[in-house]
Amino acid sequence: MKLQSKVLMIIAGVWIVICLVIYIDSKMILESDYQKIEQKLALKDIHRVQKAIDNRLAALQLYTNSWSEWDDAYTFMTAINDKFINSSFTPGTFTSSNINFFLLFTPAGKFYAGKAYDLNQKAFIPVPRDLINYLEAHPAFVTHASITSSHTGILKTQEGNIVMSSLPILTSDGKGPIHGALLMGYYLTDNFFKKITETVELKVNFLPLPLSPSNNLLNTAYSHLIAGENYYLTPKNNEIAYGFTLLRDINNQPLGLLQIETPRTVYNEGVNTIYHYLTIVVILGVIILLTMMLLLKILVLNRITNAIKQVITINSQSDFHKRIKISGQDELTEMISAVNCMLEVIELSQEQLKYRISRRTKDLERLSHLNRNLFQEMSKQKTIEEKLRQDEKLLRQIAYYDTLTELPNRTFFNELLQQALNNAERHHKKLAVLFIDVDKFKKINDSYGHEVGDKFLKQIAYSIKNALQERDIVARLSSDEFILFLNNVEDREAIANRIAAILASLTLPIQIDNIKINPTFSIGISLYPEDAQTAEELINKADLAMYYAKKLRQYALLLRRYRKFTLYRPSQLGVHVGVVIHTA
């Protein structure tokens, strides 16, 4: 085997080993890290689903509260009044709030009056006797020891799973003594989880107990959850992962499994990045291998081959006035020089001088050639470094900013908010978090198309950003949700002035492609440190305030229709304030 082939095999073998080591390291470490990130995101999605369910239960409790604290209901519990029943238990009462049951119980926990309504048939139905028997058999749910008592949750009855809320019957001023309990509820149907799916924008399925014995996946998830684990995560395929958690009734007994489908976007992007990285490494390896072979051939192998040919020619012709010509200053040159010295003993001094001149000329040519190669290598390296810097900038833009509005995304916003909280804690400053939701954005998309909807969102983002001060930050969380925080707010008056500037910018009509849109918004606000101490709590309470603001405006519409509704400040529910903006 020729020397050139041996050298090529050795270099190629070393590079293959290096590529294998890089590949194994990437699979064992990087891919594992992406799986951990995927699991964290899946856990956040499960928390979002649980929070959406809790919000639905809180909404039912809020609506029940508007009826339980009412003088007419308080008086009715002392004597049955048909006029009250006919005016209160109307079809509109049930359809407007999507409830199936309206029940009244005595302070002793006995059924007093009530009605049931079939939302599908649009007709009254008899109150299920099994439900009454269940409630009377469990008086803890229909009796209240204090005026602040409340029971809200899911009941498992023979009629099926029912979402119920129970509150004490008080006067319109919220005073006692307690005259019994008022219950409102509805059946837990697929429509309930369909609305949860629409809220969290993830597919949510409810799988009631008992589970099918043939479904190994569901039974495995249930065995983990029933053993004490809060969540169970497992991949379905390369595109989707399953998250499981238990849905429990008011007695903390399991009703079934909540199955959440989450996309494996981060994991797939990570795997693609790994293979992209390995591809670049392999390509660079091939380029380096070819370059090394080319330089090795030019600088070493060709010189050796050329020297061997000259030695053979001189030996065969016995022409000792010739010299072996070779460039470089290394061991090979020293060996050839020793051979040439033996030839110089025979030749004249003139021939020796010519040889030296010729060798100097060859040295200059070699140095010129090496300089050109070095310049080419430096140019290639500079091009590669520039490409890597551009790729790094693009990856940062994708990871930290929203592609449509170019605002920070949820991840970047959370980092900035945590930094702002740390600064506010050190300097004893206040900070406000605003959660903004565009009302009826889906209607805008359906009416004018997604292109107009995208332009609309970009205009909203532009308006909010222009209304903020230099250190304030706004981000886009999802399709129609924005969140921002205000730095260095001194007092509530200063906060009100800052928010007024934002509202003034948002309430202006928007003109898009000859289409005039009067947007409406729901805003929730939480303050640091009055309402919460951590970034997660501030965001959650601002989100909850926005949710109640939206609900209170809907209930206000009902109030104008039925005139039997009492509004309560959201601060009573543990959040700072909710604001509804309606410019239509």
Pairing of strands 481-489, 510-512: unpaired
Which amino acid is located at 289 in the chain?
L
Quick one: how many helices (H) and strands (E) in the chain? 17, 17
Distances (CA, A) of 372 to 227, 306, 363, 381: 71, 23, 15, 14
Q: What DSSP element (H or E) covers 73?
A: helix 71-76
| Per-run averaged pLDDT (10 residues), the chain, 584 residues | 73 80 73 77 88 91 90 84 79 88 91 90 90 89 90 87 92 90 91 88 88 89 89 85 90 89 79 79 82 78 77 74 73 76 65 73 78 75 75 71 88 90 89 89 88 89 87 87 86 81 83 86 88 90 88 63 36 40 38
What residue has token string 């014995």?
213
* pTM for this predicted structure: 0.47
Is the separation of the CB atoms in 448 and 515 below 8 Å? yes
Contacts of 297 (CB under 8 A, 6+ apart): 4
Burial class, 365, CB count within 10 angstroms (exposed 0-12 / middle 13-18 / buried 19+): exposed
- Secondary structure string (H, E, C) spanning 207-236: EECCCCCCCHHHHHHHHHHHCCCCCEEEEC
What residue has token string 């509150």?
167
* CA 169 – CA 179 distance, rounded (Å): 5
* CA 93 – CA 71 distance, rounded (Å): 18
Burial class, 219, CB count within 10 angstroms (exposed 0-12 / middle 13-18 / buried 19+): middle
- Bridge partner list, 257: 207, 246
* CA 166 – CA 338 distance, rounded (Å): 107
Whole-number pLDDT of residue 295: 80
* CA 429 – CA 422 distance, rounded (Å): 10
Whole-number pLDDT of residue 404: 87
Pairing of strands 181-187, 203-208: unpaired
C-alpha neighbours within 13 Å on the C-beta side of residue 134: 15
Is the separation of the CB atoms in 475 and 484 below 8 Å? yes
Whole-number pLDDT of residue 353: 62
The two tokens of residue 162 are 């029912």
* CA 95 – CA 118 distance, rounded (Å): 9
The two tokens of residue 359 are 């060798």
Whole-number pLDDT of residue 422: 92
The two tokens of residue 259 are 């199955």
Whole-number pLDDT of residue 538: 92
Whole-number pLDDT of residue 165: 94
C-alpha neighbours within 13 Å on the C-beta side of residue 202: 26
* CA 185 – CA 489 distance, rounded (Å): 43
Is 130 catalytic? The answer is no
The count of other CB atoms within 10 Å of the CB of residue 77 is 20
Q: From the candidates 45, 402, 480, 531, which is the catalytic residue?
A: 480
Whole-number pLDDT of residue 539: 92
